[in-house]
Structure 1
Amino acid sequence: MEHQTIYSVEQERGLNRFVARTFLWMMIGLAISTLSAYMLLKTKVLFYHIVSNSFFYYGIFMIEIMLAYSLRINLEKIENKMSYIVKFIVYSILTGVTFAVVGALYEPMSIVYALVSTIPLFAMLAIYGYTTNRDLTKIGTIARPIMIGLIISILMNGLLFKSNFIELMISIVVLLIFSGLTAYDMQKIKAVYLYFENQPHVHNSLIVSCALELYLDFINMFISVLNIFGKLKD
């Protein structure tokens, strides 16, 4: 009985360290994206060429999707730490293009309000996912096909229809989906740690992969809130 109690305490400490490092990498990704956006906005000619060419802009979007997919946790084959880190950094830099567009289109106060609104929402959902005993697996199962439909809708609207109404509807669905995924991903992070608890050599790779999941949740929620409630520059 005493051994079990000690093991549980150590397990809890290990999980807390794992989650803390995951959030640290998430913050590193956000910092890289913000810096990338700032540098791109300072280089106005390059920024103009990127956003004025829809196929180039959405090409970057597709590269991001492929990178995100390659960073998913594969239980049968976990790549080395550096592979995950390089992909994560490249992904964060490319996401800076989206950040730059946001910075160019929206009023600064709208960006601040969207950020201030997203942070507590994200935090509450993450805490719920971390603490609840309810199985949230269904959220992940339901979200996957919806996300495929959303990607197709985003590409079609961006390249063909260019409808503000469709963009608004997409943003509402994205906000709902990634709100659910935030709770689901936090619960999944706990499950991932417990599954690989006795394999510390893969923890660094798993931390980066899990950080990307939370990074995606936060970014998509933030941009959706901004698209729904934000005010465009005159």
Structure 2
Amino acid sequence: MNNYNLNSYNNQALDSHVSGVMKRVYVKMFLAMIVTALAAWACTVIPGIGMFLATHSWVYWGVAILELVLVFSLSGAINKMSSSTASLIFYLYSLLNGVTFALIFMAYTPVSIFKTFAITAGVFGAMSIYGYFTERDLTKIGSFLTMAIIGLFIAMIVNLFWANSTLEWIVSIAGVIIFVGLTAWDTQKIKQWAESGIGATDGRLATIGALTLYLDFINLFLFLLRFFGASSRD
């Protein structure tokens, strides 16, 4: 009986710990999305900034490259950072991402952006809940989808030069499917990290988890915007 009570207590403690970590993941992700949205909005309403980005492509690409540096730095060196440093890099990345998103805010109508965001939030929420509660091991699916990203990236590069509408449609469909699946797998993976306590403190784990799900959400949003976005020029 004592062993049963001890096991029950340990399970409850583990569940509470995992739940706490996941809450921090979602809170950090939500805050990062607010930072991104505010940065994008500011760049579009402050006179001159949006037009400067649109007419000086080197600035846009410079910011985009800096974003990649921050993401790879955070992902590769998370265990060597303090929790506060990891959080700072994550929020700086989300700020820079908002700067690049300014061109999207300029290209599409606010209504279509909001509609696409709502659809993305619904799909993301459903898949993240599934990934958290399912007993099915999603590792094989996740590994396949991760490899599929490489093929997706190659197809997108090819279409930059080929500009084929059929290929663009296929890429968009594939992108939605890939990031819908990755949302579920990444959620399960983060939960498993929290259960095992591998590699990072709770604070750093929450940050890398938030970054992972943030990227899933942003990419899903961008691919869905290809279907639901309405041009502001129409």
Length-normalised TM-score, structure 2:
0.87
Q: Is the 8 A contact 1:71 1:84 kept in 2?
A: yes
Counterpart secondary structure, 2:75? coil
CA RMSD of aligned residues (A): 2.4
Distance (whole Å) between structure 1 residues aligned to residue 170 and residue 54 of structure 2: 22
- The answer as to 2:60 corresponding to 1:61 is no
Q: 1: distance between equivalents of 2:124 and 2:25?
A: 15
Q: Which residue of 2 aligns with 1:119?
A: 121
Cα distance, 1:167 vs. partner? 4.1
Letter in 2 for 1:110: S
Contact 2:29–2:213 (CA under 8 A) maintained in structure 1: yes
In the TM superposition, residue 175 of structure 1 has moved relative to its aligned partner by 1.2
Conserved 8 A contact 2:60-2:100:
no
Using the TM superposition, give the Cα deviation of residue 117 of structure 1 relative to its aligned residue in structure 2, in angstroms.
Answer: 1.2
Quick check: 2:29–2:210 contact (8 Å CA) kept in 1?
A: yes
Q: Which runs of 5+ in 1 are unaligned?
A: none
Aligned pairs (5 A) from 1:1-234:
1-72=4-75, 77-154=79-156, 157=159, 160-161=161-162, 166-196=167-197, 202-233=201-232, 234=234
Q: Is the 2:63–2:100 Cα contact (8 Å) retained in structure 1? A: no
Deviation at 1:182?
A: 0.4
Q: How far apart are the structure 1 equivalents of 2:170 and 2:220?
A: 14
**Comparing 208-217 with 105-114, which one deviates more in the overlay?**
105-114
Q: Is the 8 A contact 1:185 1:213 kept in 2?
A: yes
Query: Structure 1 residue 217: deviation in Å?
Result: 1.0
CA gap 1:64/1:54 in 2 versus in 1, 3 angstroms: same
Question: Structure 1 residues 49 and 55 mapped into 2: Cα distance closer, same or farther (>3 Å)?
Answer: same
Instruction: After TM superposition, give the deviation of residue 171 of structure 1 in Å.
Output: 2.5
Q: Distance in 1 between matches of 2:94 and 2:107?
A: 20
Deviation larger for 182-191 or 103-112: 103-112
> Structure 1's 148 and 63: CA in aligned 2 closer, same or farther, altered over 3 A?
farther
Deviation at 1:166, TM superposition (A): 4.5
Which is further off, 137-146 or 19-28?
137-146
Total equivalences in the alignment: 230
Shift of 1:192: 0.6
Report the identity percentage. 31
Contact 2:53/2:103, CA 8 A, preserved across alignment: no
Secondary structure of 2:81 counterpart:
coil
Checking the alignment, whether the CA contact within 8 Å between 1:122 and 1:218 is kept in structure 2 is yes
**For 2:176, what is the secondary structure of its paired residue?**
helix
Question: Greater CA deviation, 140-149 or 103-112?
Answer: 140-149
The offset of 1:45, in angstroms, is: 2.2
- Code of the residue aligned with 2:128 in structure 1: it is A
**Which stretches in structure 2 are left out of the alignment for 5+ residues?**
none
**Normalising by structure 1, what TM-score?**
0.87
Matched position secondary structure for 2:201: helix
2:135 aligns to what SS in structure 1? coil
Query: What is the CA distance between 1:219 and its match in structure 2?
Result: 1.2
